[in-house]
Amino acid sequence: MSVTREAVETVLRQYTDPHLNQDPVSAGCVRSIDVQGDRVSVQLELGYAAALFRSGWAQMLAMAIEQLEGVSRADVQVDCVVRPHKAQDQVPALANVKNIIAVASGKGGVGKSTTAANLALALAREGARVGVLDADIYGPSQGIMFGIAEGTRPEIRDGKAFIPLEAHGVQVMSMAFLSDDKTPMVWRGPMVSGALLQLITQTAWNDLDYLVVDMPPGTGDIQLTLAQKVPVTGAVIVTTPQDLALLDAKKGVEMFRKVNIPVLGVVENMAIHICSNCGHAEHLFGEGGGEKLAAQYNVDLLASLPLSMAIRSQADAGKPTVIADPESQIAMIYQEVARTVGARIAQSGQIIAQSMPKIVISED
């Protein structure tokens, strides 16, 4: 019995990419299907970074195709190609940055900066070129989380642009690198907005697939100015289950909707505490809040993370969980968040034409 392309497509349609929530055919991931007698070769292209997922995905699909009558061998190749996607209208793109992800919360103290750091590191582990911009000018913490020594200063190129520092394979820039840690920023809103916009536009990022922006908490003038003037591809909202945090998180969602920035999903921190002595589980800040928020706005609940001493201590030590304990359950949750965020961006709409070479993540 001869094998047909249609038969191969039928097999592929039976398997759902867990990040795109679609089968590879419906998602437009199939680049080629080549049938040579009893041998089948399939080439898929994912629009998001997925280095830790794609080999297993390829193997699963190959095994499924080999169950077809008449197929003796199937080879499936999965490549990841991250392309730039459209941001807000009339906001110019940022040089050498394909996609900007804003990590925001309406309320401080909900783990936003820790989430931003682990998201960036997880995207890098998936094979993407990643940068972090610490826009939380009143409490910059990314330098600490990435283990960058106090007093380290970025180099300046031609007197015009800052060269971002690099740590754990991620490019990092923060206002903290330009000021004394012991001197608080006593600035009014317009001054902060202007300084941040200057920092964003005058940093010489090196061909990034994703720039993760750790936004200041709140939904005031500073956040609105950044949301209107920085080409943000999508936003991740961070909250805790606590009613007060959820109330402020809703304001964050509404702010991004007001300026036509897609909300990619919700991360719920401190969802549950498990006693290290007796193992008792307790919802210290309430239960199910993140899920309700995501359902209300019809977005993904990207993760529900526990109140964990390890997450805090590892970030404080300059090696967030994704780097400090990459095989842990919590690190795997962050990897899943990274792939899902990338997938939502890939699904978000119009791809921007670009002159720079496309980045292909392969297993060479």
Domain map (residue ranges) of the chain: 5-80, 97-352
Angle between the 243-258 and 289-296 helix axes, to the nearest 10 degrees? 20
Residue 239 and residue 105: Cα distance in Å, rounded? 6
Higher pLDDT, 237 or 139: 237
**Percent of the chain residues past pLDDT 90, beyond the cut:** 52
In the chain, the largest separation of any two C-alpha atoms, in whole Å, equals: 76
As a whole number, the mean pLDDT across the chain is: 86
CATH architecture of 97-352: 3-Layer(aba) Sandwich (3.40)
Whole-model pTM: value is 0.90
For position 319, what pLDDT does the model report? Answer: 93
Q: What is the pLDDT of residue 110?
A: 85
Feature table: binding site for ATP: 106-113
| Contact call for residues 354 and 84 (beta carbons, < 8 A) | yes
What are the b/e assignments for 101-117, b being 16+ CB within 10 Å? bbbbbbbeebbbbbbbb
Model pLDDT for residues 195-219, shown as the tens digit of each residue: 788 888 899 999 999 999 998 887 7
Contact in structure between 291 and 297 (CB atoms under 8 Å): no
Q: What is the CATH number of domain 5-80?
A: 3.30.300.130
66 near 144, Cβ under 8 Å?
no
Residues with Cβ within 8 Å of residue 300, at least 6 apart in sequence: 264, 265, 266, 294, 340, 344
pLDDT digits (tens, 9 = 90+) for 60-119: 999 999 999 999 999 999 999 999 998 888 788 888 999 999 998 877 778 899 999 999
- Asked whether residue 149 carries a pLDDT value surpassing 50, the answer given is yes
User: What pLDDT band is residue 6 in, cutting at 50, 70 and 90?
Assistant: very high
